Amino acid sequence: MRSFVLHLQSATQYERLDNVTAFVGQDASGSFGIMAGHERTMTPLLFGLARFRMANDEWEFLALPGAIVYFTNNELFLSTRRYLRDRDCTRITLALDEQLRAEEVSLHQVKESLRRLEEEMFKRLWSLGRGREPNL
């Protein structure tokens, strides 16, 4: 079976995988697949899982917060902020859920901090509008 090279690239990781026979991902139009010899293409992947098959017929899964996929000259370049890779779909799904929860907590903290900052700015602007300088 014909194969291609998969380059996994993130901000902190790089892996070159030879002998990949298929890649399956999802973009805004739905699920799609790439096999060796595919024409040149580029598309953004959605948040979630993608998978690829090695020449030994084993599937591996990638958890991604979104990515750009570029296929040219029988090489697939997948660029993302970060990724998780595992052969076990259940394990990688749990890791993805855990990562999502951690990001939600962090996002909530940032939003709360911005809300407090905005509140303080409005208080100071209101005080300035009334002709009083707030005590700093």
pLDDT tens digits, one per residue of 20-30 = 999 999 999 99
What's the pTM? 0.72
* Statement: residue 133 has pLDDT above 90: no
Query: What are the start-end ranges of the E strands in the chain?
Result: 4-9, 14-27, 30-35, 41-45, 48-54, 59-64, 67-72, 75-79, 84-86
Q: What is the mean pLDDT of residues 34-49?
A: 94
Q: Which amino acid is at 53?
A: R
pLDDT tens per residue, range 53-65: 999 999 999 998 8
